[in-house]
């Protein structure tokens, strides 16, 4: 039977962790306590902190020898991540604690595949949890009070979390009626018509996962590709590159497209929403950009039109990624605009900027029979462009 791993620092949280483990057992699941304390203590656990520490890939003897608490937490987190990957009885994992424990446990959780239940009860779960969750299915529960003893609040919050974990571990998900190959697609609001048309063309044959290109969206798709859970890609909306290179708030990082390179899978992509850099509310736009072409998408999102110079940089960056892909590549360029608001009469219509992007891609990509850049006389959201994307996808996947 798969077990519910109850993970935390038993030197300071033994009472709370023990309470969670007891409720999991009473709910019919099997708890398995894992200690990640950075110092020795007398509380009993199924796996001791020294056993966890011994799984560190390079510094197995760090426990008790590292004076800096932050360094010790980092090493224990790395050891925990390595330890969890050795277990074939891990049915789910639950952690609890403050900012230090949250950072320690969630970093290890992020190494587990999507689908393994992951639940963190944390004092910092009501704030920005992106650094803890990343592109992963980690459920965060705000503890309301500090995790310091069992009281009328913690008894309920920790109890609910324990029962949730017991339920997730005890009940298998029903199998899908039909297993289709998975297809990852990227979308933004301004590329929705294109993505919707392509999705409808292919949904009979594929289980389609659409990712909102918000930074974590791109990271999530890449993680699933790396894990083998996504076998096909239609990367229509590569806008996260704008934020990476220009300084917006929705960057997916330097490793965007890295999973496609590592896995060598066929790749069809385009320049969706490369006309815009994302910021939060308008007052948050950096001072150096105040005089740029800004478009208020909503109260919390302000878009900035990219310049020809920025588009050239983005084109070169994308092209260098395409050159590293060993699988078949088709990259389609929409000559009449890369988004809904990059069309004649729209606020981001800028043919010069688009041309700088397209030229940089064409001039940098090493084209051959396997890797092709294709210009088309359409806006990205025109039905003809969506149809071309679907045809290219079918061609390189032999459909």
Residue 93, token pair as written in the block: 């994992």
Instruction: Say yes or no: 63 and 147 in one domain.
Output: yes
* DSSP conformation class of 284: G
Instruction: Say yes or no: 200 and 92 in one domain.
Output: no
Instruction: Say yes or no: 216 and 93 in one domain.
Output: no
What confidence tens digit (pLDDT) does each residue in 339-375 have? 999 999 999 999 999 999 999 999 999 999 999 999 9
State mean pLDDT over 78-104.
95
CB-CB contact of 169 with 117 (8 Å): yes
Instruction: Say yes or no: 349 and 210 in one domain.
Output: yes
Instruction: Say yes or no: 130 and 188 in one domain.
Output: no
> 114, 139, 170 — which closes off a domain?
170
Q: Is residue 388, in this structure, part of any structural domain at all?
A: yes
> 144, 170, 196 — which closes off a domain?
170
Q: Using only the alpha carbons of the chain, give its radius of gyration.
A: 24
CB-CB contact of 383 with 197 (8 Å): yes
pLDDT score for 41 = 85
pLDDT score for 399 = 86
What confidence tens digit (pLDDT) does each residue in 373-385 have? 999 999 999 999 9
User: Alpha helices of 203-301 — where are they, by DSSP H?
Assistant: 216-226, 240-246, 258-263
Instruction: Say yes or no: 271 and 193 in one domain.
Output: yes
* DSSP conformation class of 47: B
The backbone torsions φ and ψ at residue 301, rounded to the nearest 5 degrees and listed phi first, read -135, 120
Q: Is residue 162, in this structure, part of any structural domain at all?
A: yes
Instruction: Say yes or no: 131 and 201 in one domain.
Output: no
CB-CB contact of 217 with 239 (8 Å): no
Q: Which domain holds residue 342?
A: 182-396
Instruction: Say yes or no: 116 and 214 in one domain.
Output: no
Instruction: Say yes or no: 141 and 195 in one domain.
Output: no
Q: How many domains does the chain have?
A: 2
Q: Return mean pLDDT, the chain.
A: 94
> 145, 170, 195 — which closes off a domain?
170
CATH number of the domain that 43 lies in?
A: 3.40.50.12020
Contacts of 279 (CB under 8 A, 6+ apart): 248, 249, 285, 286, 289, 301, 302, 303, 304
Instruction: Say yes or no: 149 and 224 in one domain.
Output: no
Residue ranges with strand state E in the chain: 3-8, 31-35, 90-97, 118-122, 138-142, 182-187, 207-212, 232-235, 267-270, 276-279, 294-298, 301-305, 329-334, 371-376
Predicted confidence (pLDDT) at residue 298 exceeds the cutoff of 90: no
CATH number of the domain that 197 lies in?
A: 3.40.50.12030
DSSP state letters, 55-67: T-SS-TT-TTT--
* DSSP conformation class of 191: G
Q: Is residue 70, in this structure, part of any structural domain at all?
A: yes
State mean pLDDT over 307-325.
98
Q: Is residue 175, in this structure, part of any structural domain at all?
A: no
3-state SS, residue 358: helix
pTM summary value: 0.79
What confidence tens digit (pLDDT) does each residue in 278-296 have? 999 999 999 999 999 999 9
């Amino acid at each position: 039977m798969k077990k519910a791993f109850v993970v935390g620092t038993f030197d300071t949280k033994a009472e709370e962790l023990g309470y969670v483990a007891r409720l999991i057992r009473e709910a019919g699941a099997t708890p398995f306590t894992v200690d990640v304390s950075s110092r020795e203590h007398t509380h009993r656990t199924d796996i001791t902190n020294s056993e966890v520490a011994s799984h560190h890939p390079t510094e197995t003897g760090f426990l008790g020898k590292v004076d800096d608490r932050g360094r010790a937490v980092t090493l224990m987190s790395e050891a925990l991540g390595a330890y969890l990957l050795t277990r074939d009885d891990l049915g789910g994992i639950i952690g609890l604690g403050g900012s230090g424990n949250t950072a320690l446990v969630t970093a290890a959780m992020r190494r587990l595949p999507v689908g393994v239940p992951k639940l963190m009860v944390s004092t910092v779960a009501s704030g920005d949890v992106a650094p803890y969750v990343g592109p992963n299915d980690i459920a965060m529960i705000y503890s309301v009070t500090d995790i310091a003893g069992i009281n009328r609040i913690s008894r309920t919050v920790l109890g609910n979390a324990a029962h949730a974990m017991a339920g997730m571990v005890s009940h298998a998900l029903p199998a899908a009626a039909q297993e289709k190959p998975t297809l990852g697609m990227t979308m933004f609001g301004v590329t929705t018509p294109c993505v919707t048309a392509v999705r409808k063309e292919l949904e009979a044959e594929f289980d389609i996962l659409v990712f909102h290109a918000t930074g974590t969206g791109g990271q999530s798709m890449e993680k699933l590709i790396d894990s083998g859970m996504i076998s096909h890609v239609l990367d229509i909306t590569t806008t996260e590159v704008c934020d990476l290179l220009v300084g917006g708030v929705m960057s997916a990082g330097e490793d965007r497209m890295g999973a496609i390179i590592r896995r060598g899978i066929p790749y069809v992509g385009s320049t969706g929403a490369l006309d815009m850099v994302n910021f939060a509310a308008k007052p948050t736009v950096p001072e150096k950009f105040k005089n740029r072409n800004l478009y208020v998408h909503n109260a919390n999102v302000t878009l900035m039109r990219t310049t020809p110079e920025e588009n050239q940089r983005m084109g070169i960056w994308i092209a260098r990624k395409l050159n590293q892909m060993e699988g078949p590549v088709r990259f389609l360029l929409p000559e009449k605009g890369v988004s809904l608001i990059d069309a004649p009469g729209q606020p981001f219509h800028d043919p010069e900027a688009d041309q700088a992007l397209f030229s940089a891609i064409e001039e940098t990509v090493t084209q051959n029979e396997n890797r092709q850049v294709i210009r088309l006389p359409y806006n990205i959201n025109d039905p003809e462009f969506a149809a071309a994307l679907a045809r290219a996808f079918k061609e390189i996947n032999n459909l």
